[in-house]
Structure 1
Amino acid sequence: MTDIFETLESEVRGYCRSWPAVFTRGEGSSLTAEDGRTYLDFFSGAGALNYGHNNPQLLQPLLEYLASGAVVHSLDMKTPAKRKFLETFQDVILRPRNLDYKVMFPGPTGTNTVEAALKLARKVTGRQHILSFTNAFHGMTLGSLSVTGNSMKRRGAGIPLTNSSKIPYDDYFSGETTDFLWLERVLEDSGSGVDKPAAIIVETVQGEGGLNAARAGWLRGLSELCRKHEILLIVDDVQAGCGRTGTFFSFEEAGITPDIVCLSKSISGFGLPMALTLFRPELDVWDAGEHNGTFRGHNPAFVTATAALETYWRTGEFQQQVKARITQLHEGLERIAASVEGASVRGRGMLAGVKFADDQTAGRIAAEAYENGLLVETSGPESEVVKLMPALTISAADLDRGLDILIEATRVVTAVPELAGAH
């Protein structure tokens, strides 16, 4: 029975409209519905399940912790679980990358870490304005919405969203305008009327905005511009981080060091609520309790986060496995794009998909894929991109099986001949 979802739950519900099954079990890259049908999951909790559903390497320490009577809720008080996470995060993630960041627990979600980053940037610099990018998405609370580009989501605020401006993302003008030329000029011109911003916030891959992936050189140029003009650079790594692009942080490939980094989604490893805001030590100007939240000390999430770091990031072996899956995924996406006129591959790493010239095509392909046992969502301002986020731990066989379903769905929807390369 599903009547209660339609009669009692708010109209704001979204994903369940596209995927009406009642899901009862999750294991690895699969979800099982109440009617016994199994679906391959290339959605991964919107990127919160990088290590799959109910990963046993993370589930066992979680069960042991819960059964032990240890503290579950602790706000920002000290616990052994928090200590172990901080030690592991420092040893496994920060030190090997020569990152000297302070770690802040801002609250349980991605929008919490973005809000904290924006507040901190304004407090440090004494400036109010924030620059963000066309097609950006940073969260659903007011500060995060103010730096988000999607007009539908911005309308939901119900009030004007101020103290921010949008600037063109990489390739927004299809290479016709030199990157940052106008911004550099107005920042240097005292008569431009443009106030120096406190910070610029950027996603290296715009997950919700259409899988636009910034080039490494563009990111380096942005970093240099910020450093030259004493503007803080915030990287929102909520969706693209935790290995999704092939390295733990998505900005590693560009060789930049942001002033502030936002993490959430898969930092807990298990789908449990958790977020981090990382920043250079000299930016740690908070007064005690100046930013807080009831659920910023979620100890079960500390436990699973620690287990994920120890299991997958202590050595470089997992990163090499992910690299192989990335190659496999992009080869499949290239086959799809090559078969449909005007289609192109978007994104980077395991945050990738295909953009179609007809805005209706991606939604129809996603619906057809669901009917055949595959969960994929759409992305972009007009939902014109089929977006894939398989678990980083997915097997080569399951990835091939999911790509075959997607290839067949594309063939059915676009009426192209059978695609070459299906398994």
Structure 2
Amino acid sequence: MNDSTFAEYESNVRSYCRSFPAVFRKASGDLIYDEAGNPYLDFLSGASSLNYGHNNGLIRQEITAYLQEEGIVHSLDMYTAAKRSFIEDFVTHILKPRGLDYKLQFPGPAGTNAVEAAMKLARKVTGRTNIIAFTNAFHGMSLGALSATTDPVKRSAAGISLPGVTFMPYCGSLGSPDTTLEYMEKTLTNRGSGVEPPAGFLVELVQGEGGLNTATSEWLQGLASLARRLEVPLIVDDIQAGCGRTGTFFSFEEMGITPDIVCLAKSLSGYGLPMALVLLKRELDVWQPGEHNGTFRGNNLGFVGASAAIRNYWRDRRFQESLAVKSAYIRQTLQDLCTLFPEGEAVVKGRGLMLGLDVKHGLLAETISRQAFTNGLIIETCGRSDQVVKLLPPLTISDENLKAGLGILRRSMEQVLEDTLLSV
């Protein structure tokens, strides 16, 4: 890239552009194109904000028609026809078929706004302050959500202490056998532990930024049981793992739990538009009018896009069944890629179309990502030391492009490993 505009005028805080140094001009479906017209297969999908691909035609059609009719774009939290349609579609096609009964709260437009609202609500309901979050968690960058995030670099950027959260070990993080639930229960029920009684539990079922660590159904059921005994809400952060990313609309659907509060964002709007949502059990809706608000909580284009996504992909099980097929194919391919590495040096992690390869070393994963970009594939890394090569392809990706992208990943790994051997 030969363009000094960004380096001269944009803040040093920019990050993704450093990993993928091109100026992009257009995108369609599974592909994004730079200014020279070079195509890249997108296995990043806006960090799971573009689950239905770039410029999805079915969704774009409804958004552009709404704009041409001079539909309301901004409305604070006033009633609009677009909001009503979204609520009705969400209740009819998402909540009711899953036996769920939630009130809907629209916070600010980002996932971190949803987490902030959920944490505030848990504290308001219980009258307590201490939220229990988990090791390797990521929940957002605003101060409340950041307090429940473990990354030391991100936390230090706050410039102040981040109180009000106690971290407990995530499922399996203490090794085998898994004693994390036992440890947590003993700590939280022991008055001499020094840990304040919790206001709620905040958990990701798949830790998107934390390394694609996954919670088992048994662990989650134990956590839900503990939350009930302590009479505190169980909050599921489904911001990255939701909207189909783990193979079902919600990541918790097959886990045997019903969260008290659910945070959604990213792909909720269907089109990459800012939109967040908090789902809360009816008895938890103790908010006073205006007690939690935000100027951009009424994104009507987001409502229109979300309704279009729901109607086109979630009215029956066909789309979900296609995700299971793609997930199995990706997982098998990643298992095959493990053979490129010394035994035990690569492990498949994640669920659904939120999968990755833990190659144990951050520099190696970063080098693979860079080589993949050179070969025409956008793919990021995650984990404590960025040691996981993370796949987030569009859920709608064609079989042809999925195979091509995985082929590029294999070729990139082979090139990196060959170079590594030659340099020894």
State the TM-score, normalizing by the size of structure 2: 0.97
Q: Tell me which residue corresponds to 1:234.
A: 235
Q: 289-298 vs 174-183, which deviates more?
A: 174-183
Paired AA for residue 395 in structure 2: L
Answer yes or no: is the 8 Å Cα contact 1:340–1:416 preserved in 2.
Answer: no
Cα deviation, residue 154, structure 1: 0.5
**How far 1:218 moved relative to its partner?**
1.0
2:386 is the counterpart of 1:383? yes
Q: 1:187 to 1:406 in 2, by over 3 A?
A: same
Which stretch of the first structure deviates more once superposed, 354-363 or 172-181? 172-181
**Which residue in the other structure is 1:275 paired with?**
276
- Residue 42 of structure 2 corresponds to 41
User: Are the aligned partners of 1:339 and 1:416 in contact in 2 as well (CA < 8 Å)?
Assistant: no
Task: Give the CA deviation at 1:252.
Answer: 0.7
The one-letter amino acid of 1:161's match is L
Query: How much has 1:137 moved relative to structure 2?
Result: 0.1
Structure 1 counterpart SS, 2:91: helix
Q: Supply the RMSD in Å over aligned alpha carbons.
A: 1.2
Question: SS in structure 1 opposite 2:412?
Answer: helix
Q: Offset at 1:358?
A: 2.5
1:52: which partner in 2? Answer: 53
Secondary structure at the aligned position of 1:252 is classed as: coil
Question: How many Å apart are 1:194 and its aligned residue?
Answer: 2.5
Partner residue of 2:403 out of 395, 400, 404: 400
Instruction: Check if 1:296 corresponds to 2:313.
Output: no
Q: Does residue 115 of structure 2 align to residue 114 of structure 1?
A: yes
Superposed counterparts of 1:16-415, under 5 Å: 16-341=17-342, 342-415=345-418
Mark the runs of 5 or more structure 1 residues left unpaired by the alignment.
418-423
Which residue identity is paired with 1:347? G
1:267 is paired with a residue whose SS is helix
| Residue in structure 2 matched with residue 421 of structure 1 by the alignment | none
CA distance in 2, matches of 1:402, 1:189: 51
CA distance in 2, matches of 1:148, 1:189: 25
**Matched AA of 2:22:** A
SS of residue in 1 equivalent to 2:390: strand
Q: Measure, in 1, the Cα distance between the counterparts of 2:82 and 2:27.
A: 26
SS at match of 1:352: strand
**C-alpha displacement of 1:229:** 1.5
Contact 2:361 2:385 in 1 (8 A): no
Take 1:94 and 1:348, find their aligned partners in 2: how far apart are those partners? 22
TM normalised by structure 1 equals 0.97
Structure 2: tracts of 5 or more residues without a match: none
Cα offset for 1:187?
2.7
Corresponding residue SS for 2:319: helix
Return the offset for 1:347. 0.9
